[in-house]
Amino acid sequence: GKMAALAQLHLWGATLLLCQFLLIAGEQLHLSRLPFCEEHLRNLPAHTPELRELRDLFQTWTMHKRIELDMINLLGRLREPPTKIEEIYAWKTTWNESYVSSRRRASADALDQIERNITSLVKSLRSKGHIPPSTTVQDLVQCTSGHLQPRLFPDQPVVSFMLQYFKRPKVVDAFVSMLQVCNQLIPSEFLVNVDSPQEGQRWADLSWSTSGFVVPVMSFNLHELRGYNRLAGMARGKYMVLLQDDDLIEPADCSWLPPLVAQFEAMPELAMVGFNKLQLSHGPGNDLNANNFYDPATNNDMIFAFQVDLAPIAIRRSAFRLVGGLDEGMSDRGECGIWSDWELSIRLWVAGWRVAFMPLMRKTEGDPGQPGGTHKPETGVRCWGRQQGLGSSFYMARWGSGWGGAPGKFLEKLENHVRLANLKLLKGKYTRCPFRKGCVPEGDPPLPAEYGDYKHEAKGMVDA
Ligand SMILES: *[C@@H]1O[C@H](CO)[C@@H](O)[C@H](O)[C@H]1NC(C)=O
Ligand SMILES: *[C@@H]1O[C@H](CO)[C@@H](O)[C@H](O)[C@H]1NC(C)=O
């Protein structure tokens, strides 16, 4: 229910109070409180929401107290400028007095409210007997501050754009100006995996000229799986938008971004949204144009999809981390990641998240006349010949009927699960039902006889 969704939302390193376990490289590590904290908190299990609320209040109190004091000190120096050279350097600023005053005031106002909230929360815990009478506010600060909430740090972007880039200098400026428009609407950062580091100077210059909006990472031809995973490890945004260097986006005014963020916020279990292509199943009858549902809560057009295709794709960062990111076992370094987008889609569903398609944008060619990255002569057959066979075998070993096989019963069940998610949670506006199993919102009807693609004997990794 709601708690589980909350727990998932905050899980990665942020709100461990909620869960009392830590995921390290996929392993669960159970942590116990210090014995003297246990004395104070024994009536409050680690997942108690009040503890998380208190931790957030203590964390933001400390931050605002720091800002308030620094601005008070700075105001003093603006009014009476120092004369010693070290002092001049120490208090040098481009801010004017009215800006510094307003910053001081904003923090003072925030402190007022935070202090009132701490007081009423602690009093209510005391009056209900949830904490012993002898437990002080400082005891609570210390016993709840073992895990901080990075989301509350100042200046956190909401969206991290993540571009996989390889030798396409003509599109660079177009990407930067396109995403700077987005940054005006929703606070963003632009991370770039530069797989051709010989172009490093150009990217370093962009970091300078955009005051750090562009964050280039020099890599030695990693390609997409390792490139996106590396960027996800650095991303600070709640949502990541994965981009390829051959695709620009329309509308250019970035009006697609606010509804996307609103959809993620309204649907905590939504992990991934595709914009390029959607799949409702494998095989014939898979209606690739079935974009005929909407969410009555937001009025956004969207359809839950069995699989979506790169790129662009938007992903909730916490979900991406929790499921392990793209599977780097699918290809060697420097090779492309065909099938990895589908593999990730299925994995997210299996982990309990949802995947959707939203018709919010169109791709436009950033570099007209030049074939896309995986379609260049030097990479075309390498990706679509050599790597595609490996990718599909890999995918089928995990989610299909076995290594090198085809879809099987498991994916048929998942096709039905996605169908039911659409019919139960969204509203349809179709004239012809898009699902191979029909539009009755219950059960698991058999596939019509002409769809034989799931009728494969399971061939397990071993006989055991
Ligand atoms: C002070 O700085 C702010 C923000 O940079 C600016 O908007 C404002 O016009 C400045 N005020 C004065 C009096 O210069
Ligand atoms: C303080 O509590 C009120 C009421 O619950 C809430 O609306 C407000 O956001 C809280 N303020 C802070 C800074 O947590």
Following DSSP, what letter does each residue of 177-211 receive, concatenated?
HHHHHHHHHS-EEEEEEES-GGGHHHHHHHHHHTT
The atom of ligand 1 lying closest to the CA of 97 is 1
117 lines ligand 2 (CB under 6 A): yes
Residue 3 has pLDDT above 90, yes or no: no
| pLDDT at residue 21 greater than cutoff 50 | yes
What is the mean pLDDT of the segment spanning 43-52?
A: 92
The pLDDT value given to residue 377: 66
Model pLDDT, residue 47? 83
Q: Report the pLDDT value the prediction gives residue 72, as an integer from 0 to 100.
A: 98
Ligand nearest to the CA of 115: 2
Calculate mean pLDDT across residues 236-245. Answer: 97
Integer angstrom CA distances of residue 195 from 35, 78, 163, 335, 437:
50, 47, 10, 12, 43
For residue 96, give the ligand 1 atom closest to its CA: 1
pLDDT, greater one: 135 or 20: 135
Average pLDDT value for the chain: 92
Half-sphere exposure for 409 (CA within 13 Å, toward CB): 4
Q: Which residues line ligand 1 (CB under 6 A)?
A: 96, 98-99
- The rounded percent of the chain whose pLDDT value lies above 70 is 92
Which protein residue's CA is at the shortest distance from atom 12 of ligand 2?
A: 114
Q: How far apart are CA 387 and CA 372, in angstroms?
A: 16
For a mutational test of ligand 2's pocket, the pick from 61, 117, 120, 124, i.e. the residue with the most ligand atoms closer than 8 A to its C-beta, is 117
In this predicted structure, what is the pLDDT of residue 31? 87
> Rounded to the nearest whole angstrom, what is the distance from the C-alpha of residue 292 to the centroid of ligand 2?
40
Strand 427-428 vs strand 277-279: parallel, antiparallel, or unpaired?
Answer: unpaired
Residue 114 near ligand 2, beta carbon < 6 Å: yes
Which tops the pLDDT comparison, 290 or 190?
A: 190
d(CA 173, CA 184): 17
Residue nearest to atom 10 of ligand 2 (CA): 117
Using 50, 70 and 90 to split pLDDT, how confident is the model at 375?
low
pTM: 0.90
pLDDT tens sequence across 148-172: 999 999 999 999 999 999 999 999 9
Ligand nearest the Cα atom of residue 124: 2
Q: Which of 98, 101, 102 to mutate to test the pocket of ligand 1 (most atoms within 8 A of CB)?
A: 98
Does the C-beta of 149 come closer than 6 Å to ligand 2?
no
Q: What is the CA radius of gyration of the chain?
A: 26
For residue 4, pLDDT beyond 50: no
| pLDDT attached to residue 14 | 41
Probe ligand 2: pick from 107, 113, 118, max atoms within 8 Å of CB?
113
Which atom belonging to ligand 2 lies closest to the Cα atom of 114?
13
